Amino acid sequence: MKHVAVIGAGTMGNGIAHSFAQSGFKVRLIDINEISLKKGLDTIVLNLDRMIAKEKILVTDKVNTLANISTFTDLKDGVTNADLVVEAATENIELKLNIFKQLDESCSKKTILATNTSSISITQLASITSRPDKVIGMHFMNPVPIMKLVEVIRGYNTSNDVTKTIMELSKTLGKVAVEVNDYPGFVANRILMPMLNESIETLYNGVAGVKEIDTVMKLGMAHPMGPLQLADFIGLDVCLSILNVMYDGFKNPKYAPCPLLVNMVQAGKLGVKSGEGFYDYSESKKADKASSQFLK
């Protein structure tokens, strides 16, 4: 396996492309317009420069990594001859179903179709294709070039061979692959999101303020980042989407999103990406400082 296509040049997509390219794979990064692609590549360059500054890689590693990445705005052209496609588009079921339908029509029958979804059913995405045995989840963690975990999620029909291939492939990226089964939220978000939601409920009920809640969890539970700050970095819209998927999937009220989270998303306060969430990121220096702390 040498040729990988990544769909989506956003935070997760450019991180996935970066990781594959740095590991020697030829990567085709695909997005709907050149602006998104340029922003994605700029992020990859910035992250490579940070790694050089920390003496984790050499300048030649940066040059080789960037040389391994090509960009496309046409999905069909971008996935031609790909051994693996990793979809990293917005966490929206209709969008992902449409992408997987196109991928099934455009890719070789041998191509493995993976999704970076953090909660949406692999089995449901596979059902829109003629190759459900070759559809699998690869849930990377943010920031992708640094975080070691990859949740490898088997759909109901995912074959043993495809699962083994993706488990081994993840190891070549320097990741630790953990195989899980296809249930809403998988493992990571099934455990993480209720904690974040409960933190928001604690704020909503007036038990304590934002900084106080985060301080208790950082100093008392040894978390590197408080839950409300972490929610800001994930994106409050993403947190809401994942909670809704789990609530719809399990019909259990413990997964129902807090009204404060719903209102903040409706008001456009999405966290770092919008400049404001539980914390204020409106000044670029604040955002850069927060990002650098997160990447340490």
Tens digits of residue pLDDT in 121-157: 999 999 999 999 999 999 999 999 999 999 999 999 9
Active site residue 189: yes
Q: What is the pLDDT of residue 282?
A: 87
Active site residue 139: yes
Would you say 98 is a known binding-site residue?
no
Which position among 68, 139, 197, 199 bears the catalytic label?
139
Would you say 273 is a known binding-site residue?
yes
pLDDT 10s digits, 93-121: 999 999 999 999 999 999 999 999 999 99
Would you say 264 is a known binding-site residue?
no
What's the rounded Cα separation, in Å, for the pair 274 and 27?
Answer: 29
pTM exceeding 0.95:
no
Which position among 47, 116, 118, 197 bears the catalytic label?
118
Q: What is the pLDDT of residue 213?
A: 98
Q: What is the pLDDT of residue 1?
A: 87
Closest CA to 76 of 97, 107, 101, 98: 107
> Domains in the chain, start-ordered, CATH in brackets?
3-181 (3.40.50.720), 189-289 (1.10.1040.10)
Dihedral in degrees, nearest 10, Cα atoms 228, 229, 231, 236: 90
Q: What is the pLDDT of residue 292?
A: 42
Active site residue 151: yes
Asked if the bond preceding 143 is cis, omega within 30° of 0, the reply is yes
Q: What is the pLDDT of residue 57?
A: 96
Distances (CA, A) of 266 to 237, 279, 288: 9, 17, 25
SS3 state at 5: strand
Residues with pLDDT less than 70, the chain? 283-296
Q: What is the pLDDT of residue 2?
A: 94
Which position among 189, 197, 199, 274 bears the catalytic label?
189
H or E stretch covering 149: strand 149-154
Would you say 284 is a known binding-site residue?
no
Distances (CA, A) of 34 to 37, 72, 126: 5, 8, 29
